[in-house]
Structure 1
Amino acid sequence: MITYRTYQSGDETSIVSLWNTCLETDPINLKRFRRLILLDANFDPEGLQVALDGEQLVGALYGLCRKLPMYETDLEEENGWITFFFVSPDYWRQGIATTLLEKAVQFFKKQNRKTIFFSSYAPNYIVPGIDKEHYPEAALFLENQGFTTVYPCVAMDRNLVDFKMSDEVKRLLREREKEGYVFRKAKDGDLYKVIQFANEVFNPDWGRAIREGIPQGLPLERIWVIYNHDRLVGFCLHGGYEGVPDRFGPFGVDPDEQGKKLGKILLNLCLYSMKAEGLHGAWFLWTGETSPAGHLYKKTGFEVTRKFYVVKKLL
């Protein structure tokens, strides 16, 4: 007989073990589970649903709501997120996933949520959405449960073994520098400006990646900035998420500065410094394939390695 309850201390070992059986494309270890789930400021054990056959854990689904605002006072009080779910293949088609989701919906309704997303949660998402290629059964389950696509996104990788700065990029860099633009590594005096710029022009998660990454060991040498005279107009970095040095991003240039190929220059400078650091690759999890950034990445040699779909369910 299958029984259900919420997370209890000690479940994490069984959850990680079954996770790695079910989600082979996205394995995790106890250290990452602790950091991304248990130590997340928004973690609530009532949102982590588990299914058991006797004492054996056979399924899990994690839902959460924001307790700590990402920026200023915004708690996104209408939204909830599911960041992972799985059921042991030996227990498929017994309604376990459906029951886990129903219990999560009850959790969300208690907190007056109107929309559930899989799985575009910041800061500690595992994947940005459902990967239909690697988890077709899970994608069909979400569809059958009333989740609809919000937008697709892609992960990309770039091998750096053959990377070098092209003559065109070097020429563009010289031209922009003559116009008063400065491209350089960040210093302590840049940090407030960069974090505010990331928060207000782009995404508060980007500012958080810098603010939290540096105390956790992110070197300033991995952060690039662009100034137009005294005004900060762009930045990019690598190693900001989970301390993984070859994970590129975040990366943004002021929309008012479009058309000057500042992003192209900045991206190439950062990739070159990554190669100089001894890294053999650069990758990231999330961009729009047909967005301006997506086109820039492709032109710089990045290739799509996975495709995800952010989906939502209205309660």
Structure 2
Amino acid sequence: MITYRSYQYGDEVQIVKLWNRSLPKDPITSNRFRNLVLLDANFDPKGLCLAFDGENLVGCVYGIRRLLPMIGTELEEENGWITYFFVDPDYQNQGIGLTLMQEVERFFQENNRKAVFFASYAPNYILPGIDEDTYQGGYQFLQKQGFQKLYSPVAMDRNLLDYQVTDEIKQLKEEREAEGYTFSIAENKDLYDVIQFANNVFNPDWGRAIREGLKEVLPMERVLIARHHEQLVGFCLYGGYEGIPERFGPFGVDPNQQGKGLGKLLLHECLFQMKAEGLHNAWFLWTGEKSPAGYLYLKTGFEITRRFHVMKKDI
């Protein structure tokens, strides 16, 4: 007989074990699970819905809502997120996933949520959405539960073994520098500007990633900035998410400065720094394939390695 309940202390051991059995292409360690789930300021045990056969965990769906604002007082009080779900391969097609989804929907409805997303949660998403190629059954399951595709970000990777700065990039940098632009490694005096720029021009999660990364795992020399006559106009970094050195981003340039190649220059500055540090690859999980950034990455030698679908269901 299958029984259902929410998370209790100690369940994480079975959750990690079943996760790696059910999602072998995206395994997780106990430390990553602790950091991304249990230590998340928005973690609520009631949203972590579990299915058991006797004492054995056989299924899991994790729903989360915002308890701590990303910035200001905004709690996105109408939204909830599901960041992962899985059922033991030996127990699939028995309605366990459906019941778990009903349990997590009840959690959201009790907390007055009107929309549920898979899986565009910040700050601690596992993947940006469902990878249809890897998890075709999971994608079809979400569709059957009433989730609809919103958009499809892509992950990209670039091998750095053949990377070198071209004469074109060197010339472009000289031209911009003659116009008063500077490109440098961030210093303490730059941090307030960088974090506010990331928050206000782009995404509060980017500002959080920079701030928390520098406090915990991110060396200052991995944060690069561009200024024009002292005005901050762009930044990029690597190693900020989970302290993984080869993970690139976030990265942004003032929209009012577009068309001058500043993003291209910052990207190349960053890739050069990564290679100089001895890294062999650069990768990230989330960009728009047909966005300006997406085109820039492709022109710079990045290749699309995964596609995801961000899904939404109105409840």
Q: What is the TM-score normalised by the length of structure 1?
A: 1.00
Q: Does 1:278 align with 2:272?
A: no
Letter aligned with residue 215 of structure 2? P
Q: What's the offset of the Cα at 1:214?
A: 0.7
Q: Does 1:217 align with 2:217?
A: yes
- Write out aligned runs for 1:220-235 (5 A): 220-235=220-235
Q: Which residue of 2 aligns with 1:288?
A: 288
Letter aligned with residue 173 of structure 2? L
The separation in 1 between residues aligned to 2:217 and 2:152, in whole angstroms, is 32
Q: What's the offset of the Cα at 1:291?
A: 0.4
- Write out aligned runs for 1:88-167 (5 A): 88-167=88-167
Q: Report SS of the residue matched to 1:129.
A: coil
Q: Which residue of 1 aligns with 2:66?
A: 66
Letter aligned with residue 101 of structure 1? M
Kept in 1, the 8 Å contact 2:217–2:240? The answer is: no
Q: Report SS of the residue matched to 2:308.
A: strand
Q: Which residue of 1 aligns with 2:238?
A: 238
Q: What CA deviation, in whole Å up to 9, does each residue of 1:254-281 have, x standing for no partner?
A: 0000110100011000000000000000
Q: Which residue of 2 aligns with 1:304?
A: 304
In structure 1, the gaps of 5 or more residues are none
The separation in 2 between residues aligned to 1:161 and 1:7, in whole angstroms, is 45
Q: Percent identity?
A: 64
Aligned length: 315
Q: What's the offset of the Cα at 1:242?
A: 0.2
Q: What's the offset of the Cα at 1:217?
A: 2.5
Q: What is the TM-score normalised by the length of structure 2?
A: 1.00
The separation in 1 between residues aligned to 2:113 and 2:166, in whole angstroms, is 50
Root-mean-square deviation (Å):
0.4
Q: Which runs of 4+ in 1 moved over 6 A?
A: none
Letter aligned with residue 31 of structure 2? K
Q: Report SS of the residue matched to 2:152.
A: strand
The separation in 2 between residues aligned to 1:16 and 1:32, in whole angstroms, is 10
Q: Which residue of 1 aligns with 2:174?
A: 174
The separation in 1 between residues aligned to 2:55 and 2:148, in whole angstroms, is 35
Letter aligned with residue 78 of structure 1? E
Q: Which residue of 1 aligns with 2:10?
A: 10
The separation in 2 between residues aligned to 1:24 and 1:180, in whole angstroms, is 50
Letter aligned with residue 55 of structure 1? E
The separation in 1 between residues aligned to 2:21 and 2:36, in whole angstroms, is 19
Q: What's the offset of the Cα at 1:24?
A: 1.1
Letter aligned with residue 296 of structure 2? L
The separation in 2 between residues aligned to 1:189 and 1:72, in whole angstroms, is 23
